[in-house]
């Protein structure tokens, strides 16, 4: 199977496999959404089956919930779990301070709620997602359908005074119809090129009537696990305010068995 995986797939697998080791018996865990998070869910499913790992999981999307059910993970709502020990999720971009852009998969609202209801957030990713300045990836902003064009106009007006390179906004589509989130909302994707002050932009965007949430994750992530195509993994921990870096190696041959193990 590893021969059929792209280098990016191998990198994502390595980071997800490493992150799964942080999940301990009895934990309440938030499960992210996206391709890297799906590797995590499968690995945790294998641990549940083969090691008897007992966890309670809160998925951030219906897609993740379905996969978690399929691999035998006990899934509950966030209201049932109340608070989480750990959330593990991917990112579309991250910088040196672990500020993130998320929401490329359309689950940014649930992802942010779950992450902020956790004692710790670990980001699993590949090297291509690391940037010097956020903004090359379009910033998702979730808006309610009612009056979304008015919300879009207000956002465009606000962007004129923000420290960004570009100011293009577009409604995310699903074929000929607007893309609809799990909460029944729309997403505006902001092509900004570069974001000079993520904290300020996040606060200002959330003041716009009709905006539910934006995809900037500021002061939420504690650790990033960066996988590489050869199975090398870099762990950066910023939870105590100083960057602590360690390295591990994941045996990629394990990926050949992950589906058989489930």
Q: pLDDT tens-digit profile of 67-113?
A: 999 999 999 999 999 999 999 999 999 999 999 999 999 999 999 99
pLDDT the model gives residue 34: 94
The H or E element containing residue 254 is none
Active-site positions read: 111
- Is residue 33 a known part of a binding site? yes
Closest CA to 206 of 62, 108, 96, 93: 108
Closest CA to 141 of 157, 120, 155: 155
- 139-213 adopts what CATH topology? Alpha-Beta Plaits (3.30.70)
- Is residue 36 a known part of a binding site? yes
Percent pLDDT > 90 in the chain is 91
**4 vs 64, residue with greater confidence:** 64
- Is residue 227 a known part of a binding site? no
Write the CB contacts of 148 (distance below 8 Å, at least 6 apart in sequence): 171, 186, 188, 210
Integer Cα distance of 70 and 262 in angstroms = 9
Which of the listed CATH numbers 1.10.150.570, 3.40.50.1820, 3.30.300.210, 3.40.50.1360 matches domain 2-130+219-261? 3.40.50.1360
Helices and strands counted in the chain (H then E) = 8, 17
Strand bridging mode 93-94 / 211-214: unpaired
pLDDT the model gives residue 258: 55
Average pLDDT over residues 222-230: 97
pLDDT the model gives residue 254: 62
Write the CB contacts of 7 (distance below 8 Å, at least 6 apart in sequence): 229
Write the CB contacts of 74 (distance below 8 Å, at least 6 apart in sequence): 54, 55, 56, 57
Q: Give, in degrees to the nearest 5, the angle at Cα 106 between 35 and 94.
A: 65
Per-domain boundaries in the chain:
2-130+219-261, 139-213
Integer Cα distance of 219 and 230 in angstroms = 30
The pTM for the full model equals 0.94
Cα R_g (the chain), whole angstroms: 18
Integer Cα distance of 185 and 146 in angstroms = 9
Do 139-213 and 2-130+219-261 have the same topology in CATH?
no
- Is residue 91 a known part of a binding site? yes
- Is residue 35 a known part of a binding site? yes
Integer Cα distance of 133 and 145 in angstroms = 31
Average pLDDT over residues 22-38: 97
pLDDT at 2 over 80: no
pLDDT the model gives residue 261: 45
- Is residue 103 a known part of a binding site? yes
- Is residue 92 a known part of a binding site? yes
Integer Cα distance of 11 and 30 in angstroms = 21
Write the CB contacts of 172 (distance below 8 Å, at least 6 apart in sequence): 106, 140, 178, 179, 186, 187, 188, 189
- Is residue 105 a known part of a binding site? yes
pLDDT (tens digit per residue) in 171-211: 999 999 999 999 999 999 999 999 999 999 999 999 999 99
- Is residue 89 a known part of a binding site? yes
């Amino acid at each position: 199977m590893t021969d059929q995986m792209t280098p990016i797939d191998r990198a994502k697998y390595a980071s997800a496999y490493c992150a799964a080791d942080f999940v301990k018996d009895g934990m309440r865990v938030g499960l992210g959404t996206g391709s890297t998070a799906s590797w995590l869910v499968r690995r945790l499913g294998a641990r549940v089956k083969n090691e008897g790992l007992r966890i309670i999981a809160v998925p951030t999307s219906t897609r993740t919930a379905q996969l978690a059910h399929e691999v035998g993970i006990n899934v509950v709502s966030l209201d049932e779990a109340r608070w989480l020990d750990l959330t593990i999720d991917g990112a579309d971009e991250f910088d040196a301070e672990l500020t993130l852009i998320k929401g490329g998969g359309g689950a940014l609202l649930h992802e942010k709620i779950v992450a902020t209801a956790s004692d710790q957030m670990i980001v699993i990713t590949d090297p291509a997602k690391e940037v010097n300045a956020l903004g090359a990836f379009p910033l998702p902003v979730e808006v309610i359908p009612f009056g979304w064009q008015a919300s879009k106009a207000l956002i465009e007006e606000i962007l004129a005074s923000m420290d960004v390179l570009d100011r293009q906004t577009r409604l995310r589509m699903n074929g000929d119809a607007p893309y609809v989130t799990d909460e029944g909302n729309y997403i505006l994707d902001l092509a900004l090129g570069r974001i000079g002050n993520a904290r300020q932009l996040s606060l200002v965007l959330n003041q716009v009537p009709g905006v539910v949430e934006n995809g900037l994750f500021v002061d939420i992530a504690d650790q990033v696990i960066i996988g590489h195509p050869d199975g090398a993994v870099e762990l950066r921990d910023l939870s105590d305010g100083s960057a602590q870096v360690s390295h591990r190696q994941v045996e990629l041959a394990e990926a050949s068995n992950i589906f058989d193990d489930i």
